[in-house]
Amino acid sequence: MKSHMHLNLFGIASKSEKHSTGKLAALPIVVILLLAGACSNPEVGPSDKVETFVTVKPSDQVDDIMLLGDRHEEERNYELAIDAYSEAIAADPEFVEAYVARAFSYLQLGQINAAMSDLNHALTVDPDYTDAHLFRGMVHSLDGNFEEAVQDFDKVLAGLDESTVGDLALVNVYFSRGSAYFFTSEYEKAIADFDRVIEIDPDYIEAYAIRGNSYDNNGDFQAAVADYARALSLNPNSSQRALVLFDLGQAYARNGNIELATANLEEALELGLHPAAADEAEAILEFLAQAEGSELPEVGLAPAWELPYFDNFSDPASGWEVGEYVGGTVGYEGGVYVVTATVIGSQMWAIPNQSFQDVEITVQTREASGPTNNNNAYGVACRVGPGLMGYFFMISGDGLFFISRIEEVGASALVPWTESDSIRKGNDINSIRAVCNGEELSLFINGELAASVQDTAFKSGDIALSAITFEDDVIEIHFDDFELKQP
């Protein structure tokens, strides 16, 4: 039950504003969920963006400039809006509202780093400025930094008298914090925040859907199904309905109800899913069709490797998978193992159908071809489960790396995109070593420790070789001299 395309959610796709081409290359769902349409929905204008809590009165000197910037923003002329807000800031360098307004325009252009810089500056000037904390929390979420997002949302709520705040503002902040809790796997806290959202707005479809995800991941199947059913009863539009049916179908599949799982997944496909979700739904349906009339089978493993294990990929029967998929190809070629990714923002990976707990993976990698700006990612993974769940250790051709945890709900950046002088850029060979030892996860690049972090989500699983392209260009990564041993 495996899909070779995985929707990059958090902490992967939005690497840096220097890769922006006027919009986020692979706009993650979190924008829709957390910014309530402000960035992702072309039908929603800036006047509909997140309701804020306070308004700073600009001085007479910059009032007209701010109004001009607001008008440009309403007309979606974000470059001109930025120019106007910059002029206001030049006239009054401590005018925090201008920094927040400019940050919003930067975000519309996909310039996350510039938006974050403005928000940080606003909070340096006024550490208690609630709107800046709210917006910075949302930008942290957009960039996959959910723990930092929770801290900002906590400060927003700590400074509020809820009896004096509008319902929309309260819904925004509780929904945003609940979503951040969800992506840090703090499901009980997420459920509590979504409870508050639903108390304020009983018809909030997305709150039922994500609370259902939270219940499902927390082991409460019945509560999850009830929330999915409630979301569907609120007459969501076709894209929302498709996603809820997709979640409901997966929940039924995990609980062995093949009939209901099949019905919901088929309806979701008919309504239209994102290509990555559609690919996953089709893979689940194929799996369920094979399992119908019997108990759901366990995933079969190949003959177990004895450690230490070495593979120079000269033998195409050494155990790694070979195939052509919607998102690319995996297989042996000319004494190396090749992974290609062909769909922007989606991930290809290959596994040998093994299972390990603590391992140390070392492999030589080379970007054989890809986008000219080297906007890509490639590397290895440990403790990989169905649907690409596991720990991923990735570098990019332009000198950055990250460590992420991918679960059914999406990706969380354990170590966000970080520059490293150890990475040889472009087509040069890079040695990647990943160590998964108990709770300790470490990445070494060309012999140098890049980062180490602790996490407890996964205890065992397969290993993988992986590649992602963030551009329209196909990326081809060659892997060689693969070594696997116990730490």
pLDDT digits (tens, 9 = 90+) for 199-210: 999 989 889 999
Please tell me the predicted confidence (pLDDT) of residue 379. 96
Query: Per-residue pLDDT averaged across 54-68, rounded?
Result: 65
State yes or no: pLDDT of 8 exceeds 70.
no
Tens of pLDDT, residues 423-450: 999 899 999 999 999 999 999 999 999 9
Q: How many residues does the chain have?
A: 487
Query: Per-residue pLDDT averaged across 15-28, rounded?
Result: 25
Tens of pLDDT, residues 244-286: 898 888 888 777 778 888 898 999 999 988 777 788 888 888 8
Please tell me the predicted confidence (pLDDT) of residue 338. 97
Q: Which part of the chain has CATH 2.60.120.560?
A: 309-485
Please tell me the predicted confidence (pLDDT) of residue 61. 65
3-state helix, strand, coil split of the chain in percent (to 5) is: 40, 25, 35
Residue 276, H or E segment:
helix 275-291
Closest CA to 230 of 209, 254, 250: 209
Tens of pLDDT, residues 352-402: 888 888 999 999 999 999 888 988 999 999 998 765 678 999 999 999 999
* Number of Cα atoms under 13 Å in the Cβ half of residue 296: 16
Q: Per mean pLDDT, which of 2-16, 79-93, 240-254, 341-355 is the most reliable?
A: 79-93
User: Would you say 9 and 410 are in contact if contact means Cβ atoms under 8 Å apart?
Assistant: yes
Query: Per-residue pLDDT averaged across 49-61, rounded?
Result: 46
Q: Which amino acid is at 303?
A: P
| pLDDT band of 333, cuts 50, 70, 90 | very high
Give the list of residues 6+ apart from residue 452 with CB closer than 8 angstroms, or none.
Answer: 440, 441, 442, 443
Helix 221-233 and helix 205-217, axial crossing angle in degrees, nearest 10: 160
Please tell me the predicted confidence (pLDDT) of residue 42. 31
| DSSP category for residue 399 | S
Q: Which part of the chain has CATH 1.25.40.10?
A: 17-290
Please tell me the predicted confidence (pLDDT) of residue 387. 58
Comparing 288 with 33, the larger pLDDT belongs to 288
Please tell me the predicted confidence (pLDDT) of residue 6. 28
Q: What is the pTM of this model?
A: 0.52
* Number of Cα atoms under 13 Å in the Cβ half of residue 93: 1
Tens of pLDDT, residues 447-477: 999 999 999 888 888 899 999 888 888 999 9
| DSSP category for residue 342 | -
Query: Per-residue pLDDT averaged across 293-317, rounded?
Result: 70
Please tell me the predicted confidence (pLDDT) of residue 251. 82
Tens of pLDDT, residues 140-168: 888 788 899 999 999 988 877 777 777 88
Token match 């006239």: residue? 91
* CATH architecture assigned to 17-290: Alpha Horseshoe (1.25)
- Gap between the Cα atoms of 339 and 344, Å rounded: 15
State yes or no: pLDDT of 47 exceeds 80.
no
State yes or no: pLDDT of 298 exceeds 60.
no
Query: Per-residue pLDDT averaged across 33-55, rounded?
Result: 35
For residue 185, give both structure tokens: 């796997």
- Gap between the Cα atoms of 175 and 30, Å rounded: 11
| pLDDT band of 239, cuts 50, 70, 90 | confident
| pLDDT band of 37, cuts 50, 70, 90 | very low
* Mean predicted lDDT score pLDDT of the chain: 80
| pLDDT band of 86, cuts 50, 70, 90 | very high
Range with lowest mean pLDDT among 18-27, 82-91, 169-178: 18-27
Superfamily of domain 309-485: Exo-inulinase; domain 1 (2.60.120.560)
